[in-house]
């Protein structure tokens, strides 16, 4: 059976990640929309099932690799930072290497964002569960 602490951690990761990413994506929409339109020849149209799969993988990865094995909030934040840098770095640098109009500036900005997103998400999930424990 899944413990209440695991449920709390996963819910915290999900809520924090979604709220932060919605704010980020909304704030950067004006600059990213033209780039993606240039890359694919039409405006960006998210496919919601794959989007759900991506967020499910990100939440599971943050819990499994950052929050669950951590002994304290600093440990969780550090693990989250390493995970975010790795996941977003792999995505962004692959896109930069293979898509001519995917800019280095965007790749680096998105890598910084992913590192920050996973750091904060991991730290908040660890903080909430530490308070609850």
Instruction: Transcribe 77-120 into DSSP letters.
Output: HHHHHHHHHHHHHHHHHHHHHH-TTS-HHHHHHHHHHHHHHHHH
Out of 30-44, 46-60, 71-85, least confident range: 30-44
Q: What is the pLDDT of residue 133?
A: 54
pLDDT given at position 132: 57
Domain ranges, ordered by start, for the chain = 4-132
- Select the more confidently predicted residue: 2 or 120: 120
pLDDT over 90 at 88, yes or no: yes
pLDDT, average across residues 91-95: 98
Q: What pLDDT, in 10s, does the model give residues 44-75?
A: 899 999 999 999 999 999 999 999 999 999 99
State the CB neighbour count (10 A cutoff) for residue 28: 14
Q: Please enumerate in sequence order all residues whose Cβ is within 8 A of that of 75, keeping only pairs 6 or more positions apart, or say none.
A: 126
Q: Please give the pLDDT value at position 2.
A: 85
């Amino acid at each position: 059976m899944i413990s209440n602490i695991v449920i709390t951690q996963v819910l915290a990761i999900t809520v924090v990640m979604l709220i932060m990413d919605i704010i980020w994506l909304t704030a950067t929409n004006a600059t990213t929309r033209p780039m993606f339109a240039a890359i694919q020849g039409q405006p960006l149209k998210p496919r919601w099932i794959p989007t759900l799969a991506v967020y499910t993988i990100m939440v599971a990865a943050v819990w499994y690799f950052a929050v669950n094995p951590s002994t304290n909030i600093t440990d969780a934040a550090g693990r989250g930072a390493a995970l975010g840098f790795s996941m977003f770095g792999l995505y962004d640098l692959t896109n930069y290497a293979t898509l001519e109009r995917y800019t280095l500036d965007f790749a680096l900005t998105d890598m910084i964002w992913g590192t920050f997103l996973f750091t904060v998400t991991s730290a908040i999930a660890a903080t909430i569960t530490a308070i609850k424990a």
